[in-house]
Chain A
C-alpha cells in the first residue's frame, strides 16, 4: 500500500488554474503547497477549498470577532463549540445560536430554508441540549418584485415543513420586505435548547484509539460545495447552483435528535459534531483539531446512498441529518443499540490518532494526508482594508404633499413590514412541547421552563435601514431593540447571538460596514452585560455588484425569575393610564414612514447606552413588582402604530385616548417617528406614581399621555379618531390581500 496520497485515475490535474476554479486565491494555493510540501491531491484540493472558504474559515471576520465580549458569570459556553450556552437558573443551561442560509434559500427557497432549520437544530442537540424553540429572521425583496411571492411561499413553507415535523416550536421571528433584497434574500435561523448544566456534550476529540462513528442518513451527492457557494457573489449563473443546495429529511432529523440525546445519556460519547458545511471534512478535522489530535477515516465504510461516489464527493457532500461521534473505546455496541432502536445508521469509520494528521483512506490508498492544523487553525486570516464610503447614502425626496395622520396611519398598518405576520406564523407549529406562554405576534416570545418558576424570553431583530445610514449606530440600535423587547416581556437580557449579513468583504466599504457593525454589537453587549456567546457571519450577499444593506441580525435571550409576572403588549383595562418612557427624541430617520412616503428622514440620533440599560432595568423591575399592565416597544411606524397594536387585544378590544406633542401641535415625527427606544406602558391609575419614579428616578423621560378607554377607538390629540376594528382589519389583511393579488 502506498503511504503517499495520490490523485485517482480520471481526476483533474491539480494546479494553480484548478485551485482558482475551486475559489482559492493564488497565494492560498501556494500556502497549501508549502504546508503539505507537495502538490495536493485532487481530494485534498477540494478539502482545502471548502475549509478555507469564507463560510468555514471566517478568514475575513475572525480578527474582528475577537473584539466581542463573550464572558459573564452566566456564560457556560462561549464561542468555540457548536453553540454558546448561558446559565438560566435552576440547573439549566440554554444553548443557542443563529445561522444564515441565505444563498441556498435564494436558489431553492423551500429546501434552502428547510435545511437552514435542520442545520441550526443539529448545532444545538450536538451539545446535548434538547431543542425547545426556533425563531427566524427573513428579508425579502419588495412585495411588488415578481420573485418575492415565490420566495416567500417557499421559505415559509420550508421552515414550517421542517420545523413542524421535528417537533420544535417556532415561537418568534421577523419578516421584512425591501427592494434592497430583491436579488439576495436573507434567511437566518435560530434555535435554542435546554440541557442540565454539567450534561453538556463537547466537540473536542479525546483519547487516541477511540473509535469514530458515523450516524444518521447515508451520504449522497447533494450539497457538494455548498460552503463554497455561500462564499461567492451571485450572478446570472446562480440558478445553475441548484444542485449545491441540500435536501432535508426532517423525519430522520427527529429520530437523530432522540437517538443522540439518548446516546448521550449512556456516557459513551466522548465528542460529537454534526456534519454541516463541508460535511465529513469539517466535522472530522475540527473535532480532532479541538482535541489537539489526529483522525484517520476509512471512506469505504461511509454509508452511501448510491454506488460510485468518489472520495472527493464523500468528503465534501453536505447531505443532511448526519453526525460524527467519537466514542469511548469498547463502548461502541452501547451506542449502536441506541441508534438501532431508532433505525439509524451507526458505523465505525475510523479512529482518533495521536499524530495530528487528517488521513483519509479509500480502496487501499491514501487520498488525503494533511496536518490537522492546516485545515482549521492555519487557514488564512485576512486583515482586509476597510474604508468609509465617501458619499453617504441619501434618501430621495419625492414627497409633494403631506399625508393626513389618519391616512398615514392606515398606510403604515397596511405596510407588509408593519402589518400582522399571521399569514406567515400560522404555518408554524408554535405550541408543541407545551412551553409557549407567549408565541408569535408578541414583542418577545416567552417559554416557561417545566418544573421551575423561571421562564426565558426570546427576540430576534434587525434594522438594515438604520445600518445603511450608520452601520455602527444601526447595530447598537438593533441590540437595544432586541433587548428592550425581551425586557418589555419582563425578562432580563443575559445573552446574545448574532448573524452578520454583509456584502463582499473584499470591498473596503463593505468591510468598513462590517467592522463598524461588530463595534456596535460589542459596545451594546457590554452595556447590557449580555455577552455574545455564538454567531455566524454571512458575507458575499450581493448580486451583480449590488450588496445588501448591512444587516446584523441579533437575537437576545432573557431570563425571567417568575413566569407568572410576564407582561404582554396589549392594553388590559379601561381606565388604565397610558404612559411612554424613552431614552431619546424620535426622528423619521430610517423610519417606515420615510420609506413609504419617500422623504429624507435625516441622520440617526446618538444612542446613550447607559440610558438604554437603565430603561431595561426599569422595565424588568416594573414587571417583577407587578406594576406594569402592558408594555409594547415602539418600532416601525412609531407611536401611533404601537398604540393601535396595543389595542388589538385578542381577548377584549379596547380603545385609547392620548395627547402627543406639545399643546395640540403634534407633527408627523410625534406620531410616526422611530429610534428613540420608546415603550408604551399601561398602568393601573394607583401605580402611576410608582412607575414614574421607577423610570424618572433613572433619569429617563416618562410621561402619562392618556388612558385606555372602553370605546374601541384610537383618539390622538384631537386630530385622529379611528375605529380599532377597521384599523385591525387593515393590519390583518395587508399580507393576505397582496397574496390574493387583488390590489
Chain B
C-alpha cells in the first residue's frame, strides 16, 4: 500500500508516522507537503500529530485551509482512506470530514501517558486486524482531546458504529477515572459515516516497537494495509 503523510508547518509526529510505516512495517510511505495539492497517487493519507500552525487560533483551524486539504477532502469524498492522529483528528473535525470537535482536556493541562483503549467496532478498514472488545495499550499526548458532539448525533453515531475506540481501564471497563481527558462517552476515536475517514487521539505510531513500550499500534496500521483497494 502507498501511504502519504502530510507535513503541515508545526507537524511533529510526521517523522514518527513515516518511521512506523516505512521502517517498521516496510511499506511505501512518503511525505506530502501542505502547500502542494498533489497527493502523488497514494492509497491512504495520514494526518499526523503536532501543533499545525502553532494551533494558536484553535487546534486544526488553520491547517484545514492548507492547499493540500482540498485534495484530501476530494480524496475522502471518492472513498479514499484517511486517518488523522491527534492534531490530524482535530484537523479532520475542523474540516468537517468527521463529526464532533475536540476541546481542552478536563484537567486543562497537557497529558502524556499510556492508556487503555477498547475497540468498539472491528469491522472498519482501520480496525479489521482487531476484534471487538480488544484492548490496546497506546500513548496519548495532547492538551485538547476532550471529544464533544451533540447528544443526538452521538446517539446516531453509536447506532451506526462510528465510535471506534473508547478509553477504558486495564480490565476493559469504562470509568470516569479511566477517561483521561473527559471525552463524552469516553470516545477516543471515531469514523465518518462511510467508514473511510478515521480520527483518533491516541498515537498508534508511538506503539510499534517493544523496546519503546509496546506494539499495539501496529494493529491499526496492519488493518489499513490489509484494506488496500
Please list the residues of chain A having a beta carbon within 8 angstroms of any beta carbon in chain B. Answer: 157, 160-161, 164-167, 249-252, 254-255, 342-343, 425-437, 448, 450, 563-564
Specify the chain A residue showing the minimal Cβ separation from B53: A251
Q: Given A164-B141, A165-B54, A434-B206: A427 and B212 within 8 A (CB)?
A: no
A426 contact from B13, B53, B54, B112, Cβ within 8 A: B112
Chain A nearest Cβ from B120, distance in angstroms: 25
Query: Could you list some 17 contacts between A and B, CB below 8 A?
Result: A164-B112, A164-B141, A167-B12, A251-B9, A251-B53, A251-B54, A252-B54, A254-B10, A254-B51, A426-B112, A426-B113, A427-B110, A428-B112, A429-B141, A434-B20, A434-B212, A450-B19
Chain B nearest Cβ from A430, distance in angstroms: 6
**B189: Cβ under 8 A from any A Cβ:** no
Which A residues are CB-close (under 8 A) to B213? 431
Distance of A165 Cα from B15 Cα, bound (Å):
15
Distance of A364 Cα from B139 Cα, bound (Å):
58
Chain B nearest Cβ from A462, distance in angstroms: 24
Which B residues are CB-close (under 8 A) to A435? 212
Which B residues are CB-close (under 8 A) to A436? 212
In the complex, are the beta carbons of A160 and B211 less than 8 A apart? no
Which B residues are CB-close (under 8 A) to A432? 12-13, 16, 141, 206
Chain A nearest Cβ from B170, distance in angstroms: 11
Q: Given A343-B9, A434-B16: A160 and B139 within 8 A (CB)?
A: no
In the complex, are the beta carbons of A251 and B56 less than 8 A apart? yes
In the complex, are the beta carbons of A433 and B15 less than 8 A apart? yes
Specify the chain A residue showing the minimal Cβ separation from B56: A251
Distance of A82 Cα from B15 Cα, bound (Å):
27
Which A residues are CB-close (under 8 A) to B113? 426
Distance of A450 Cα from B208 Cα, bound (Å):
14
Chain B nearest Cβ from A717, distance in angstroms: 34
- Category for how many chain B residues contact A: 20 to 34
Distance of A239 Cα from B211 Cα, bound (Å):
47
Specify the chain A residue showing the minimal Cβ separation from B139: A431
A563 contact from B15, B53, B111, B211, Cβ within 8 A: B211
Q: Interface centre among A343, A429, A450, A564, by most B CB within 10 Å?
A: A429
In the complex, are the beta carbons of B12 and A434 less than 8 A apart? no
**B50: Cβ under 8 A from any A Cβ:** yes
In the complex, are the beta carbons of B9 and A427 less than 8 A apart? no
Specify the chain A residue showing the minimal Cβ separation from B141: A429
* Total cross-chain contacts (CB, 8 A): 84
Binary interface profile of B, 9-29, with partner A (CB < 8 Å = 1, else 0)? Answer: 110110110011000000000
Specify the chain B residue showing the minimal Cβ separation from A440: B112
Which A residues are CB-close (under 8 A) to B141? 164, 429, 431-432
Please list the residues of chain B having a beta carbon within 8 angstroms of any beta carbon in chain A. Answer: 9-10, 12-13, 15-16, 19-20, 50-51, 53-56, 109-113, 139, 141, 143, 203, 205-206, 209, 211-213
Other than A160-B109, A428-B112, give 17 A-B pairs with Cβ distance below 8 A: A167-B50, A251-B9, A252-B54, A254-B12, A342-B9, A343-B9, A426-B111, A429-B112, A430-B112, A431-B141, A431-B203, A432-B141, A432-B206, A434-B212, A435-B212, A437-B211, A450-B19
Chain B nearest Cβ from A691, distance in angstroms: 24
Which B residues are CB-close (under 8 A) to A431? 112, 139, 141, 203, 206, 212-213
The 9 closest A-B pairs by CB, nearest first: A251-B54, A167-B12, A165-B51, A434-B16, A429-B141, A427-B110, A160-B110, A429-B112, A431-B206
B51 contact from A251, A433, A450, Cβ within 8 A: A251
Distance of A166 Cα from B20 Cα, bound (Å):
20
A427 contact from B10, B56, B109, B209, Cβ within 8 A: B109
Chain B nearest Cβ from A484, distance in angstroms: 24
Specify the chain B residue showing the minimal Cβ separation from A448: B211
Which A residues are CB-close (under 8 A) to B9? 251, 254-255, 342-343
Which A residues are CB-close (under 8 A) to B19? 434, 450
Which B residues are CB-close (under 8 A) to A342? 9
Q: Given A164-B110, A429-B110, A431-B212: A249 and B15 within 8 A (CB)?
A: no
Chain A nearest Cβ from B136, distance in angstroms: 16
In the complex, are the beta carbons of A165 and B10 less than 8 A apart? yes
Distance of A251 Cα from B54 Cα, bound (Å):
5
In the complex, are the beta carbons of A157 and B109 less than 8 A apart? yes
Specify the chain A residue showing the minimal Cβ separation from B112: A429
Distance of A644 Cα from B51 Cα, bound (Å):
39
Chain B nearest Cβ from A446, distance in angstroms: 10
In the complex, are the beta carbons of B12 and A427 less than 8 A apart? no
Which A residues are CB-close (under 8 A) to B203? 431
Specify the chain A residue showing the minimal Cβ separation from B113: A426
Which B residues are CB-close (under 8 A) to A255? 9-10
Chain B nearest Cβ from A625, distance in angstroms: 20
In the complex, are the beta carbons of B110 and A564 less than 8 A apart? no
Q: Given A164-B141, A432-B12: A427 and B54 within 8 A (CB)?
A: no
Specify the chain B residue showing the minimal Cβ separation from A255: B9
Distance of A462 Cα from B15 Cα, bound (Å):
34
Distance of A437 Cα from B209 Cα, bound (Å):
10
Distance of A165 Cα from B51 Cα, bound (Å):
6
Distance of A75 Cα from B56 Cα, bound (Å):
41
Chain A nearest Cβ from B217, distance in angstroms: 11
Distance of A563 Cα from B13 Cα, bound (Å):
23
Specify the chain A residue showing the minimal Cβ separation from B9: A255
Distance of A161 Cα from B55 Cα, bound (Å):
11
Distance of A435 Cα from B213 Cα, bound (Å):
11
Which A residues are CB-close (under 8 A) to B209? 434
Which B residues are CB-close (under 8 A) to A252? 54
Which B residues are CB-close (under 8 A) to A429? 12, 110, 112, 141
Q: Interface centre among B51, B113, B143, by most A CB within 10 Å?
A: B51
Which A residues are CB-close (under 8 A) to B16? 432-434
Which B residues are CB-close (under 8 A) to A425? 112
Distance of A250 Cα from B54 Cα, bound (Å):
7
In the complex, are the beta carbons of B112 and A427 less than 8 A apart? yes
Q: Given A427-B110, A429-B110, A433-B15: A564 and B211 within 8 A (CB)?
A: yes
